[in-house]
Amino acid sequence: MRVLMIQTPSVEDLSQERVYPIGIVLLAGCIKGAGHEVSILDMNLERDPYGALKEKLLAVQPEAIGLSLRNIDPLGNKTSSLISPFIVTVRLIAAVLPQAWLVVGGTGFSLFPERLMLEIPELDYGIIGEAEVSFPALLRSIDSPPSLPGLCWRQGSRVRVSPPATDFNMADYVPANRLLLDPALYKGINNYAPTIGIEAKRGCTLCCAYCVYPQLQGKRLRCRPPAAVVDEMESLHKDYGIESFHFTDPVLNVPHGHLEGICEEILRRKLKVRWDGFMREDHLNEKNVMLFERAGCECFSFSPDGLCQDSLDVLCKNLTEAEILKAASLVAQTDVVSVYHFMVNVPGATKENCEDGIRFVEQLYELHSKKKNLGTIVLNNIRILPGTRIERMARAQRIITSETDLLYPTYYNPRPFDTFRYKMETLQQCRNVFMWQGVEL
């Protein structure tokens, strides 16, 4: 079958940070291996995404099209949605090639499968979650597929959804076939985020109250062998000149020893690469922080989320203020920048714990002031996503009701602390600017 894989618009415009669409490239490799003829279009690279789409459809004449809906919205307190460009994309395809089978997948779709299938009748099938096994199996018998993990299909006017796969064996992982989409196209397009993602593992054992990662990848950690991860980095470095990578793992430095193994392998091979990824504070110690720096870590990214112990507890972070400060004091001694993400106005916010939060941010800046290595502190309200503990809390508190449409940007930000984020942002921006300018506040 001739198959076209499309990364639908994942960002609002070309000024936003963009990423190599590793999900569809992995799947394209799987179906190519199964004998299909496959091509790829990333609409995020195009100045005229719909023009490029139409041209590609007419040139390739695919019989089946795999659409990836990665993001439903840009998060970060923004209120714009990526659902509209997705629907436009689907309608344009259906108008240009009405006979082609349309299959949708990706993280954004996986969060709202039934809703999107019902709202967009042009979609024939969906697959929620990881699709290395289900997608090729669906293409094998697309007229009448068997029961497959994560499959969404229509039964009359209803949509049926099978539970997703969360057990793909990462020892069998075949890295994305980069010949199908040239990584060089993504060089130098971002200011901050490395465009090339590397998966070192899937799964997350944590149960943070707002987070959908365990829903998307399962709760069991599935690690790739460190040498296989470094093989992939090495070939990207040698064949495409890629120097900087982002590890896509929900938490990069768990379980203990895995990232350490990757770093030792990078050092053993004398690979000159840089990388980053989100780390847990309570798994850092003097020794591994030094190892990570030596092996090319270019940013310690943390998402402690809670600005005080009450908030950490309500968000089920299983983390203490002391652990965060201990980690901060370790990374502050390195020559690597650190970035911290926090959530503001979380359930149970009080005047006192807002003040605690202010003090906490001050403490982080104090710790990093000597080496001036605090990149930034990102402050967001919580985006309420379906199936999370925060969703249940927000319903119980009547912050959202049965009328609330979670498909579109909905944040947990009730009064009276709904503007606290701005106060925190002023504080953090002042500290940041004054730190970088070397001026005492």
Contacts to ligand B12 by CB under 6 A: 10-11, 17-20, 22-24, 26-27, 66-68, 70-76, 103-108, 127, 130-132, 135, 193-197, 199, 212-213, 216-217, 246, 248, 250, 383
Choose between 252 and 367: whose C-beta lies nearer to ligand B12: 252
Choose between 248 and 311: whose C-beta lies nearer to ligand B12: 248
Ramachandran angles phi, psi of 9, nearest 5°: -55, 120
**Pairing status of strand 158-161 against strand 196-198:** unpaired
Choose between 69 and 367: whose C-beta lies nearer to ligand B12: 69
The length of the chain in residues reads 441
The structure tokens listed for 314 are 């309500």
Asked if residue 375 lies in contact with residue 338, where contact means CB atoms within 8 angstroms, the answer is yes
Asked if residue 216 lies in contact with residue 129, where contact means CB atoms within 8 angstroms, the answer is yes
Choose between 27 and 390: whose C-beta lies nearer to ligand B12: 27
How many beta carbons lie within 10 A of that of residue 414, not counting itself? Answer: 15
The distance of closest approach from Cβ of residue 39 to ligand B12 in the complex, given in angstroms and rounded to an integer, is 14
Position of minimal CB gap to ligand B12:
105
* Nearest partner of 66 among 39, 46, 48, 85, judged by Cα: 39
Question: Longest C-alpha distance within the chain, in Å?
Answer: 69
Choose between 15 and 437: whose C-beta lies nearer to ligand B12: 15
The structure tokens listed for 296 are 């090319």
The structure tokens listed for 250 are 């929900």
Choose between 88 and 193: whose C-beta lies nearer to ligand B12: 193
Choose between 179 and 441: whose C-beta lies nearer to ligand B12: 179
Choose between 64 and 325: whose C-beta lies nearer to ligand B12: 64
Complete DSSP assignment for 299-350: EEEEEEE-SSHHHHHHTT----HHHHHHHHHHHHTSSSEEEEEEE-S-TT--
Amino acid at 74: P
Choose between 22 and 181: whose C-beta lies nearer to ligand B12: 22
Choose between 216 and 312: whose C-beta lies nearer to ligand B12: 216
Asked if residue 277 lies in contact with residue 296, where contact means CB atoms within 8 angstroms, the answer is no
The distance of closest approach from Cβ of residue 188 to ligand B12 in the complex, given in angstroms and rounded to an integer, is 14
The distance of closest approach from Cβ of residue 441 to ligand B12 in the complex, given in angstroms and rounded to an integer, is 28
Radius of gyration of the chain measured on its C-alpha atoms? 22
The structure tokens listed for 257 are 């020893």
Choose between 75 and 290: whose C-beta lies nearer to ligand B12: 75
The distance of closest approach from Cβ of residue 9 to ligand B12 in the complex, given in angstroms and rounded to an integer, is 9
Alpha carbon 302 to its chain's center:
14
The distance of closest approach from Cβ of residue 130 to ligand B12 in the complex, given in angstroms and rounded to an integer, is 3
On the 0-12 / 13-18 / 19+ scale of CB atoms within 10 A, 345 is: buried
The distance of closest approach from Cβ of residue 73 to ligand B12 in the complex, given in angstroms and rounded to an integer, is 5
The distance of closest approach from Cβ of residue 238 to ligand B12 in the complex, given in angstroms and rounded to an integer, is 19
The distance of closest approach from Cβ of residue 20 to ligand B12 in the complex, given in angstroms and rounded to an integer, is 6
The distance of closest approach from Cβ of residue 99 to ligand B12 in the complex, given in angstroms and rounded to an integer, is 18
Distance CA 261, CA 259 (A): 5
- Provide the 8-state DSSP code for 282: G
The distance of closest approach from Cβ of residue 246 to ligand B12 in the complex, given in angstroms and rounded to an integer, is 4
Distance CA 436, CA 78 (A): 27
Distance CA 42, CA 10 (A): 10
The distance of closest approach from Cβ of residue 362 to ligand B12 in the complex, given in angstroms and rounded to an integer, is 26
End-to-end CA distance of the chain: 64
